[in-house]
Structure 1
Amino acid sequence: MSDLQATVEILERLIAFETVSDRSNKDVIAYVANYLEALGVTSHVFADDTGQKHGLIAQIGPDVAGGVVLSGHTDVVPVDGQDWQTDPWTLTEQDGRYFGRGTCDMKGFLALVLAAVPQMLAAPLQRPIQLAFSFDEEIGCTGTAPLLAELQARFARADRVIVGEPTEWRVVTGHKGGIGITTQITGKAAHSSMPHLGVSAISAAAKLVAWHEAQMATCESSSDQASGFTPPHSTLQVGTIQGGSAMNIVPDACRIETDIRFVPPETAEDWLTRYRTLAEEIARDMQRSHAEADITLCDIEVIPAMMPETDGAAEQLARQLTGDNSDNCVSYQTEAGHFQSAGYSTVVCGPGNIAQAHQPDEYVTADQLRKGQSFLAKLIESLC
């Protein structure tokens, strides 16, 4: 058996599960639970309110405080409309690269962790390793809260969390926070020849869109170039807009979707307060013409930022395991912000390059997987 064969075999199985976020992930979680059970490891599976999305936690080693959580998500983004040269649901090896949806983000990490379980079981661990596999990370990290609740209810509290998102095994200590907002604007329809009898929902939406542009310009002008983020400031954009029914009708409805990515120590609460205040002001102006006009903020998703920690235990451990002493902050969001907000010392560190994530012909290299094997072997040794 080659040094990578066990990892690759597990990765092949994981890739075959089409765990796009709009589908159930029950089968992949059942596979993981069965794999662990065959090794004598008891796992705990939990479901969301629909019963269609499952998460899993497991612990190897003594049930004492001070262990390490290895965290990863099981869902992947869609392949629709992408020009793949290989079957995205079949692991394909070419020239030291393993192609397939999720190989990089982030089933490569999950495969490494599962392949290392026999080593964990054979080692005289003095502190435990906890496995935490979530659902729906790709659509707002909605599976993270129940995952945290299960960890805290069932196991002694770990000291450190390693979220295995693709960083090429560089230690990432900070990432931007994220806010997703759907804004529903209700106006009043009228014939375009008599616009004074209506209230344009699209005109109100235009003011909200302009606010996004103005806020980002302000952030850019006052940005800290040494922040470590790219770009080094908070960003705002309206990603979708739908409204109106005909060219000659004053639109009575419009819907926009907002994406805000904020730099710590800014908070989601600060940004939501600013935006909600503006929406309320615009709504009051609309209501002077039509009392039932309104602006409603709904489907608000918040992903906390992860901030670099002073003498962070997770950072120190990851640097010891990787030898990486560079400073790395990223603009994408992960479940790490939720773990840190829950009081865990947390870093992001895993196989693959984030540039491959969500792309056609996504891949992870054999070299990255081998580095992962070394990383986990050193982690196991450090807990003995």
Structure 2
Amino acid sequence: MNDTVSTLASLVAFPSICGTPNAPIMDWIEQRLAALGAHIHRVPGYDEGRSSLFASVGPDIEGGIVLSAHADVVPVAGQPWTSDPFTLTERDGRLYGRGSSDMKGFIACMLTAAARAATQPLTRPLHLAISHDEELGCVGVRSLLDFLRHEGMGAQGCVVGEPTGMEVAVAHKGKVALRLTCHGRAAHSANPLRGINAIVLAAGMVDALQALQKHIASTEPHDPRFDVPFSTVQTGLISGGTALNIVPDRCEIMAEIRLLPGISPQPYIAWLHEAGQRLTRDGSHGRIEIDITNAYPGLADDPGSEFLSLGLRHARSNTTRVIDFGTEAGLFRNELGLPCIICGPGDIGRAHKADEYVTRAELAEGDRFLAELVNGLCRPGYSAAGGSMPGM
């Protein structure tokens, strides 16, 4: 346990802010794993200076378990921290630091599990997948998944260690991020009727986004397991205009749709296109473009999954939950076909704000959970029922 806490202290000390180069923290993790004899791949990201890491301990065969985490954290600028966010600070059993819950606490548990696995007679491998820039919309894991798909990596399942308080989560919403660009025509404000005001068009599209939310709430099948039991629409950013005496010819809106698992965004995007056409009257009163800037899928639960049963057994739980925030689990399921659960120390309610923390008890439970998974990898074809997995 002290090893996990000291590992977390080292991880927190790296200011691995999303959207910035991440070589220092990935170098440190790679060195730790190399010392254990792990087989390691550094996978370059699509942006310069970023990389992900995939490491394996144990025999080079299929049927292992993937532990997945992201090493990036959100910024701290402007937040009223009571201690240095990049120095792990303990007060009353709470370990404060940026990323302690989301999700360097799980990475620390992963490295403890890898050290344990390196000393055990594994019959199947333990894999560690650590990505970058998850906080920008799960963008960094995509090159890693491309690499794993090319390599034909197969596994029994994947544990994504986002902070769930060590409860087993089986589903989450997906996300589509949209840019709505409203094009008008500039004119002198002394005679605004000679122009087309792009901000006025944008106001109409904000109304359309709100109307879409009402449409979704009243027509979409609800899933009562989620705090908000239907897909949601959010207008997050708006910018336009250059000077008060110029009729603005451009205004941009950034919006998102958080989708229930299994719900396609296409009908909703088509709904917005139709709203834009009504506002612009087929281009005679300006033009509105709608572009998808990022998207990741939701995770739909699989109640009959053998891997879910295994996860529940080691979590010592008989119940599952869903989460409203997105994770990389949907991508691991969709891109690699891996059964996925989400289970990790910490609480998402502490993340992304000042004085984020994880507790020693939560880390201890994470270590116990992963230790049992590692012990299971020492038994051929281990399943939740204690028998052999089909085809193994």
What TM-score does the superposition give when structure 1 sets the normalisation length?
0.93
User: Which of the numbers 354, 363, 377 marks the counterpart of 2:357?
Assistant: 363
Give how far 1:33 is off: 0.7
Amino acid at match of 2:89: T
Counterpart in the other structure of 1:29 = 26
Counterpart in the other structure of 1:379 = 373
User: Which of the numbers 277, 283, 287 marks the counterpart of 1:287?
Assistant: 283
* Distance in 2 of aligned mates of 1:155 and 1:265: 26
Q: What aligned pairs does 1:149-298 form with structure 2 within 5 A after superposition? A: 149-154=146-151, 156-222=153-219, 226-283=223-280, 285=281, 287-289=283-285, 293-298=286-291
User: Which of the numbers 325, 340, 348 marks the counterpart of 2:333?
Assistant: 340
Question: Which piece of structure 1 moves more, 224-233 or 305-314?
Answer: 224-233
Task: Assess, with a 3 A threshold, how the Cα gap between structure 1 residues 214 and 50 changes in structure 2: closer, same or farther.
Answer: closer
* Distance in 1 of aligned mates of 2:201 and 2:71: 40
Give how far 1:270 is off: 3.5
Asked if the contact 2:46/2:143 (under 8 Å) is kept, the reply is: no
* Distance in 2 of aligned mates of 1:49 and 1:231: 34
- Residues 64-113 of structure 1, C-alpha deviations (whole Å, 9 max, x = no match): 22211100000000001100001000011111111100000000000011
User: Which of the numbers 310, 314, 323 marks the counterpart of 2:307?
Assistant: 314
Counterpart in the other structure of 1:300 = 293
Secondary structure of the structure 2 residue equivalent to 1:159 = strand
Amino acid at match of 1:259: E
Give how far 1:194 is off: 3.2
Amino acid at match of 1:245: T
Task: Assess, with a 3 A threshold, how the Cα gap between structure 1 residues 67 and 137 changes in structure 2: closer, same or farther.
Answer: same
Secondary structure of the structure 1 residue equivalent to 2:118 = helix
Counterpart in the other structure of 1:326 = 319
Task: Assess, with a 3 A threshold, how the Cα gap between structure 1 residues 224 and 50 changes in structure 2: closer, same or farther.
Answer: closer
* Distance in 1 of aligned mates of 2:73 and 2:303: 33
Asked if the contact 1:104/1:351 (under 8 Å) is kept, the reply is: yes
- Residues 27-82 of structure 1, C-alpha deviations (whole Å, 9 max, x = no match): 10000111111121131112124431110001111222221110000000000110
* Distance in 2 of aligned mates of 1:344 and 1:282: 44
Asked if the contact 1:63/1:155 (under 8 Å) is kept, the reply is: no
- Residues 293-346 of structure 1, C-alpha deviations (whole Å, 9 max, x = no match): 432334610010111114123322211111222231111101111111121111
* Distance in 1 of aligned mates of 2:192 and 2:283: 15
* Distance in 2 of aligned mates of 1:14 and 1:298: 37
Secondary structure of the structure 1 residue equivalent to 2:169 = coil
1:105 aligns with 2:102: yes
Give how far 1:149 is off: 1.8
Asked if the contact 1:205/1:254 (under 8 Å) is kept, the reply is: yes
Task: Assess, with a 3 A threshold, how the Cα gap between structure 1 residues 67 and 271 changes in structure 2: closer, same or farther.
Answer: farther
Counterpart in the other structure of 2:387 = none
Could you tell me which runs of 5 or more consecutive residues in structure 2 were left unpaired when the two chains were aligned. 379-392
* Distance in 1 of aligned mates of 2:244 and 2:282: 21
What TM-score does the superposition give when structure 2 sets the normalisation length?
0.91
* Distance in 1 of aligned mates of 2:223 and 2:331: 25
Give the superposed CA RMSD.
1.8
Amino acid at match of 1:288: S
Secondary structure of the structure 2 residue equivalent to 1:315 = helix
Counterpart in the other structure of 2:389 = none
* Distance in 2 of aligned mates of 1:147 and 1:190: 49
* Distance in 2 of aligned mates of 1:327 and 1:33: 33
Amino acid at match of 2:332: F
* Distance in 1 of aligned mates of 2:120 and 2:60: 15
1:128 aligns with 2:121: no
Could you tell me which runs of 5 or more consecutive residues in structure 1 were left unpaired when the two chains were aligned. none
* Distance in 2 of aligned mates of 1:145 and 1:246: 41
Amino acid at match of 1:376: L
Asked if the contact 2:209/2:272 (under 8 Å) is kept, the reply is: no
Give how far 1:353 is off: 0.8
* Distance in 1 of aligned mates of 2:262 and 2:222: 15
Counterpart in the other structure of 1:92 = 89
* Distance in 2 of aligned mates of 1:276 and 1:159: 42
User: Which of the numbers 59, 62, 70 marks the counterpart of 2:56?
Assistant: 59
Give how far 1:280 is off: 4.6
Secondary structure of the structure 2 residue equivalent to 1:297 = strand
* Distance in 1 of aligned mates of 2:305 and 2:267: 26
